Amino acid sequence: MLRPLAHEPDLVDQVHASLLEAILSGELEAGERFTQEGLAERLGVSRQPVMQALRLLRLQGLVVDTPNRRGMRVAPLDPAFVGWLYQLRAALDSAAARAAALRPRPELLAEGEAIVAEGLAANAAGDLARLVQADLRFHLFVYEASGNPLLLESARHYWHHTRRAMSVYLRRAGTMRPVWSEHAAILEAIVAGDVETAARLSHEHAASSVQMLLAGSDGSGPVDGGADAPLAKPRSKPGTRGANRRARSTTKRRSA
């Protein structure tokens, strides 16, 4: 039986939103281990809404059970997954830019330029959260300009994973300036009605983005939390990672 709904947001929704933001922003890092009890204590709620929120996050592919099922961890961002994600993005972004260029409108220029300016300002200020939000705004702007609601919905479905990968990269690199010059070129092609150029630049943009994400800012390696990465524990003490590596090396020598 349908009943009047409460005006206040459901507690499960609030917990889900809080945990989702923590994962996407990198506050809860890829591979980081946690328990329902620990999260409930940090959020000041009972275990029940945390358990239900974690079920939703598991369905979204953002958290996984630990091997011994004693707690959970943030899903890793391994290179293969990021590669698959950006293959899909390249196809969707290219299709959206092509569709947007087929229906160019003068008002798109001012709106798009404002987003690019916001991204450049955030980059100059070193504000990583603003950078990610501006990047999201630009891509959603292109999808909305395409006039195809299915393209937009498809992009929204995968954006959580894209944002996670971007947050990892930005914490390493601290800049996205090359990305914004690419955004400006895509915008110019769309407004000019240059369908092929808009599609090509969008595809190349996704390809260059995944190369940055997988290489890291210094070419040292892929994004964090790969499938074989050790669990990252909250508030780990300085120097423990090096000790863990030495311990693993000693174990291998003994077993050889």
Predicted confidence pLDDT, tens digits, the chain (256 residues)? 555 545 456 899 999 999 999 999 888 988 999 999 999 999 999 999 999 999 999 999 999 998 877 889 999 888 998 999 999 999 999 999 999 999 998 899 999 999 999 999 998 898 888 988 999 999 999 999 999 999 999 988 888 998 888 887 777 766 667 789 999 999 999 999 999 999 999 999 999 888 888 875 333 444 554 333 332 333 333 344 444 444 444 444 444 4
Cα atoms in the Cβ-side hemisphere of radius 13 Å centred on 133? 9
Report pLDDT for 94: 98
In angstroms, rounded to a whole number, what is the distance separating the alpha carbons of residues 106 and 150? 24
Q: Hey, what are 47's tokens? A: 């275990």
Architecture in CATH of 10-75: Orthogonal Bundle (1.10)
Report pLDDT for 12: 93
CATH 1.20.120.530 region(s) of the chain? 79-215
Query: Nearest Cα to 62, choosing from 93, 17, 102?
Result: 17
In angstroms, rounded to a whole number, what is the distance separating the alpha carbons of residues 126 and 139? 20
Report pLDDT for 197: 98
One-letter identity of residue 175: T
Strand pairing of 72-74 and 63-65?
Answer: antiparallel
Architecture in CATH of 79-215: Up-down Bundle (1.20)
Paired with 232 in beta bridges are: 32
Q: Per-residue DSSP letters for the chain?
A: ---PPPSSPPHHHHHHHHHHHHHHHTSS-TTBEE-HHHHHHHHTS-HHHHHHHHHHHHHTTSEEE-TT-SSEEEPP--HHHHHHHHHHHHHHHHHHHHHHHHS--THHHHHHHHHHHHHHHHHHHT-HHHHHHHHHHHHHHHHHHHT-HHHHHHHHHHHHHHHHHHHHHHHHH---HHHHHHHHHHHHHHHHT-HHHHHHHHHHHHHHHHHHHHH-TTS--S-SS-TTPPPBPTTPPTTHHHHHHHHHHHHHHHH-
In angstroms, rounded to a whole number, what is the distance separating the alpha carbons of residues 9 and 14? 7
Q: Hey, what are 121's tokens? A: 């300002």
Regarding pTM above 0.85, the answer is no
Report pLDDT for 45: 93
Report pLDDT for 3: 55
Residue whose structure tokens are 């950078």:
131
CATH 1.10.10.10 region(s) of the chain? 10-75
Neighbour-count burial of 171, counting CB atoms closer than 10 A to its CB (0-12 exposed, 13-18 middle, 19+ buried): middle
Report pLDDT for 239: 42
In angstroms, rounded to a whole number, what is the distance separating the alpha carbons of residues 256 and 35? 35
